Amino acid sequence: MVKRYLQVMPLDEVFSLLSHEFPCIPSTETIPLEAATGRITAGPIFGTYSVPEIHLAAMDGIAVASADTRGASEQHPVTLDRAARVNTGNVVPPGFDAVIMIEDVWEADGKYIIRKSAGPWQHVRPAGEDLAESEMVMPSRHRIRPYETGALATYGIIELGVITVRIGLVPTGSELVAAGTRPAPGQVVESNTVMAKAMLEAAGARCTRYPFVEDRPEKICDAIAAACRDNDMVIVSAGSSAGTKDYTADVIAGLGKVLVHGIATKPGKPAIIGKVDKKPVFGLPGYPLSAITVIRELVLPFLRNYGLFVPEPQVIRAVVTSALPKEIGSDEFVQCTLGKVGDRWTISPQSKGAGVQMSAVRANAYIKVPRDSEGFNAGDMVDARLLVPWQEAEHALLITGSHDPVLDHLADLLRPGGVSLVSTHVGSMGGIIALKKNECHAAPMHLLSPDGTYNTGDIRKYLPKTEVDLICIAGRQQGIVSRDGLALRDLRGRMFINRQKGSGTRMLLDYELKKAGIDPSSIPGYEREVTTHIAVALAVKSGEADAGMCVYSAAKALGLPFVPVAQERYELAIRREHRKDPRISMLIEAVRSTAFGEILKRLGGYDTTETGAQRSAE
Amino acid sequence: MVKRYLQVMPLDEVFSLLSHEFPCIPSTETIPLEAATGRITAGPIFGTYSVPEIHLAAMDGIAVASADTRGASEQHPVTLDRAARVNTGNVVPPGFDAVIMIEDVWEADGKYIIRKSAGPWQHVRPAGEDLAESEMVMPSRHRIRPYETGALATYGIIELGVITVRIGLVPTGSELVAAGTRPAPGQVVESNTVMAKAMLEAAGARCTRYPFVEDRPEKICDAIAAACRDNDMVIVSAGSSAGTKDYTADVIAGLGKVLVHGIATKPGKPAIIGKVDKKPVFGLPGYPLSAITVIRELVLPFLRNYGLFVPEPQVIRAVVTSALPKEIGSDEFVQCTLGKVGDRWTISPQSKGAGVQMSAVRANAYIKVPRDSEGFNAGDMVDARLLVPWQEAEHALLITGSHDPVLDHLADLLRPGGVSLVSTHVGSMGGIIALKKNECHAAPMHLLSPDGTYNTGDIRKYLPKTEVDLICIAGRQQGIVSRDGLALRDLRGRMFINRQKGSGTRMLLDYELKKAGIDPSSIPGYEREVTTHIAVALAVKSGEADAGMCVYSAAKALGLPFVPVAQERYELAIRREHRKDPRISMLIEAVRSTAFGEILKRLGGYDTTETGAQRSAE
């Protein structure tokens, strides 16, 4: 029998077990005041002197004896025999008990004249007004806000004790190389402890990244034992699964005890929780999205037990645009893109591949599909958990349809204006459907009709009653990418890499093959599908395929020969009802900008004659 | 004529002017990846190699040729002649095009047996799946989230350009001393630039604090000119008002131009906006709360023009517990305490003194009373702008009534459990009223009835139909504090400092004076009121008064003689309807804890016999 997981444990049981097994006492460290923002006090802080220690003027003006001012009025101004010019913060000289604002004072013959009497202690800051000696400034476990550093400085607190959790991060794996080194085949850049450090330190933990440990149990054992000595908690990256080189669980068992192997989450299942020297030791799965999930859903919430502050994500109710089927038994976490189309928040799941870190970069929200749920249907209302501030999600511009690298450049042009362009790659037909369901702001497309026109035919067919405008991004060259300059006519018998059905490129290919009288079945690999231009070019570059069809910019980016097949009209379809949305205006402005024109020229393969042109799809 | 302000300018006009006068181009700095969290990209970031660069196993299992697996099923297991054991992340060896999960593999006689066929490319991560060479990872102006450091590491990005605004902070004032030095009379700890640095750097600015500059125009001039050379923006602390030593405006006028002197906010009015070398120069008022307001309401929002991220405060609608009258003309910002009593959010304004930094420490929210408003009446619904995370505000425990230093210690005991005790000092009668209006969770009080009993009499009088419980904090000694051991009978003719009307201490004093046959008019200073025990003791210590009445702990804290007058019952009144609130349970638990008993003994002057005892006020 091949080695298998222990029974997986649901998250709520994991948290009960953690609370039961570990007392969770934080460490304390003394830090200078300048580093105090966001940190949490370890004990109460008391003032050691009063502020102010003596009566001070609270206004710019003159210090007076209030008795001298009696009876002053507009009708009966009083000229003062004694008074002292004081500025805000000056000591009120002995004999005086009030301050009159400079705005209420007139001067004549070197004396002050007033037209209003002053009450005793008027505009005087009495000693101890702000803080009295021995008073408590802040209790324990108070999270210091940036502006409070000023108060602490005033009260003489220049260093303070704050809580932390010392966490040792142990990266394991013989395949690891440090970030900055280009990995050879089979090597992997160690990124999980880089990420864990950033996520955990944002919550106030203090992390130490240990050197890479090769996949040998005795080395891993030494590393974990050393990390346990110097920290309150240890996280071992990778080796937590059940592969032939997954030693983490056995090593933890040897040093102490494995409490849990396998948690009921997806991604994140292969996590380990152990106990060594009474300290928690977590085994983190190697896949980046699994590691993110385990840190976000397990380790960070657990840090709350130590008194650290870990905010709950903000939640927005949104309509999910595609089905999320799921088997009962695990909490499932799905990276998504969220935005507000009209008055309605919509959320689209991203690729589920646990190795696709870009899906976490592109995501601005995620969905938790609960353990006892069978998932969601398209159109269900779900809780969207935000990964960006609410304001940023509200300004997201949802672009759903056919992908082109220029969309990323439009995103780059729009961001300084406060708009986050979020693109979901579902091909031109996917874009039409999103437009029909009103689940995106704009759908980029290049759909060839049998009559040789682009886009209007399918829009009229699928959205017959909806007013839709088309903004031309560019005339775009599609062609054959290869390592040796193949053309369309050379494809027979060569290994091909195709785009997915429904994509404009696939339709164009089929149209051109038919025109040229080439039978798809004569092309090996015709059925192998990828979803972006650059993936086609990459398959060709890596030797996996001999040819594919893509846009010029993708071939150029990878330095591959490109033989043009056709020029197509790549347009943005926009419902007219959204035309007044400022995000849409900014998008159109960006398409029409000089900067964008220059980008198109630099990338190559785009005809800018029609760029920015608008037409109705009716 | 005395020097006066220029015309004050409303905030919206100030922002228009700032946008018109300054192009707001941020600086760029290169930082290591480890420092990237929260920073904002200066330009787009591209991948320089594909991830992965070659096909990899996406699961632990065996790599197979999918063609070899055809027809495998439960009924017809297939024994594979060729296969390779792979762990997640291993290269899929040439000749293989699929991976079968280890869970679906059996072993016999050194060969693998499968019961399900594998499709081509199943569980294989194709080259470029995550990121393709030349693809854009992030656009410009993207705010880097902690977990994204992992993706950046994977893509080989170990340093990156981010935007910042270089801000020079120039503290002026001959009275300044550095934090950590106890200020002599008339000296002030320089805290505004400490605070400004923390607030502005939290938004991604890079601040340089310059040495203190004495109040001499030529020195200030040199300092501002130097700061302008090395920064994108300069903030001059203090000297912005119209006092005799307020040189900032004149100096800015000499170096460039004063655009605004005086903004229509309260606090914060004496702010200056100038332009030197085409750069914005702000004059910050010296009062800490004025400085906080100008930074929060003017400088931080202005940083958005440079592309920095400054979150809007979260807003909660709440009932304001006391009137906030105001003249039309200025936006007024009031520090408040906010909490949820039952289902209703209530918000109480704090002391308005611009020098009381503790009010900003105590506040968990603030109210903006708009320029064109005449203020709010008690009971009005207002926008509470949060100064803490929403969850923390929701766990605030509102304690309103008579103050005693032990309340701060209760706060300290409660905070580790996640409850923020927020106390508002309004005296015992103020507490009764807050309890009647259901605007607090508990009201600490010590109200003597003519029959010699405590608290129940007034609760029955003011809340005749409400079920109220009383939890005893302690029997508390009240007595005369003085520098030379005065007793109650010695008060005639000595300068007194009194507590405010409605406070329990005031009532007790009046009761005891009457009993002793002492006429209040025989005591000079009887009419001078302060609002806390420690303020009474401090007035005595500073020589401002000869005697006052307070609790023992306040006298002890300042090392002053104390002659007991009476022991009173200091109790927490709690509406029975809130008794199931977990915050209340935790409060009562804290009062009854051993730790609290020890604190009472250590502070002295408390009789703990009845501590924690509960009785009904009916």
Length of chain B: 618
| Integer Cα distance of A391 and A55 in angstroms | 46
Q: What's residue B134's pLDDT?
A: 86
**What is the DSSP secondary-structure string of A50-87?**
-BSSS-EESSSEEEE-GGGGTT--SSS-EEESS-EEE-
B107 beta partners: B112
Residue among B202, B388, B412 minimizing CB distance to A44:
B412
CATH topology of domain B11-26+165-306: Molybdenum Cofactor Biosythetic Enzyme; Chain A (3.40.980)
**What pLDDT, in 10s, does the model give residues B421-461?**
998 888 899 999 999 999 999 999 999 998 889 999 999 99
Using CA of residue A406, residue A410, residue A413, residue A419, what is the dihedral sign? negative
B30 beta partners: B161
| Integer Cα distance of B472 and B575 in angstroms | 14
Instruction: Look up the CATH number of domain A468-616.
Output: 3.40.190.290
Burial A6-22 (b: 16+ CB within 10 A, else e): eebbbbeebeeebeeeb
B534 lies within 8 A of chain A by CB = yes
Q: Identify all chain B residues contacting A149, using CB atoms and an 8 Å cutoff.
A: 191, 194-195, 197-198
Token match 């002890």: residue? B556
Query: ipTM of this model?
Result: 0.92
pTM: 0.92
| Integer Cα distance of A598 and A608 in angstroms | 10
| Integer Cα distance of B300 and B472 in angstroms | 46
**What pLDDT, in 10s, does the model give residues A398-433?**
999 998 889 999 999 999 999 999 988 888 999 999
Measured between CA atoms, how close is B130 to chain A, in angstroms?
A: 4
Q: Identify all chain A residues contacting B95, using CB atoms and an 8 Å cutoff.
A: none
| Integer Cα distance of A512 and A563 in angstroms | 14
Q: What's residue B600's pLDDT?
A: 96
Residues A134, B558 contacting (CB under 8 angstroms):
yes
Q: What's residue B229's pLDDT?
A: 97
Residues B496, B546 contacting (CB under 8 angstroms):
yes
Torsion of CA A550, A552, A558, A562, to 10 degrees: 80
Residue among B2, B106, B151 minimizing CB distance to A358:
B151
Q: Identify all chain A residues contacting B202, using CB atoms and an 8 Å cutoff.
A: 37-38, 146
Q: What is the DSSP letter of A351?
A: -
| Integer Cα distance of B422 and A545 in angstroms | 68
B160 lies within 8 A of chain A by CB = no
Q: Count contacts between A and B (CB, < 8 Å).
A: 389
Instruction: Look up the CATH number of domain B428-616.
Output: 3.40.190.290
Please state, rounded to an integer, the average pLDDT across all residues of chain A. 93
- Restricting to A residues 237-256, those with a Cβ less than 8 Å away from any Cβ of B are 241-246
Share of chain B residues as helix, strand and coil, in percent rounded to the nearest 5: 30, 30, 40
- Please name the residues in contact with B491: beta carbons below 8 A apart, sequence gap of 6 or more: B480, B513, B518, B522, B523, B547
- Restricting to B residues 31-70, those with a Cβ less than 8 Å away from any Cβ of A are 33-34, 36-38, 44, 48-56, 58, 60
CATH class belonging to B43-160: mainly beta
What does the longest C-alpha to C-alpha distance in chain B come to?
111
Residue among A137, A292, A408 minimizing CB distance to B361:
A137
- Residue A615 in 3-state DSSP? strand
Domain boundaries, chain B: 11-26+165-306, 43-160, 312-391, 428-616
Domain A56-125 in CATH 2.170.190.11: yes
How far lies A268's CA from each of A13, A299, B122, B214, in Å? 16, 12, 20, 60
Q: What is the DSSP letter of B135?
A: -
- Residue B111 in 3-state DSSP? strand
* Contact across the interface for A534 and B132, Cβ inside 8 Å: yes
Q: Average of pLDDT values for A503-532?
A: 91
B95 vs A80, which has greater pLDDT?
A: A80
First to last CA, chain B: 64
Q: Identify all chain B residues contacting A102, using CB atoms and an 8 Å cutoff.
A: 2-4, 242-243
Element spanning A361, H or E: helix A357-362
Ranking A87-91, A267-271, B184-188, B378-382 by mean pLDDT, the lowest is A87-91
Q: Average of pLDDT values for A382-386?
A: 98
Instruction: Look up the CATH number of domain A27-51+130-164.
Output: 3.90.105.10
- Please name the residues in contact with A389: beta carbons below 8 A apart, sequence gap of 6 or more: B309, B311
- Restricting to B residues 550-569, those with a Cβ less than 8 Å away from any Cβ of A are 557-558
CATH, domain A315-394, list 2.10.109.10, 2.40.340.10, 1.20.1250.20, 1.10.287.70: 2.40.340.10
* Contact across the interface for B89 and A188, Cβ inside 8 Å: yes
| Integer Cα distance of A452 and A515 in angstroms | 12
Residues A577, A442 contacting (CB under 8 angstroms):
no
| Integer Cα distance of A220 and A240 in angstroms | 12
**Residues in chain B where the model's pLDDT stays below 50:** 1-4
* Superfamily grouping for domain B312-391: MoeA, C-terminal, domain IV (2.40.340.10)
**What pLDDT, in 10s, does the model give residues A458-474?**
999 999 999 999 999 99
Q: Identify all chain A residues contacting B147, using CB atoms and an 8 Å cutoff.
A: 195, 198-199, 292, 295-296, 360
Q: What's residue B66's pLDDT?
A: 86
Query: Residue A5, Cβ neighbours under 10 Å: how many?
Result: 14
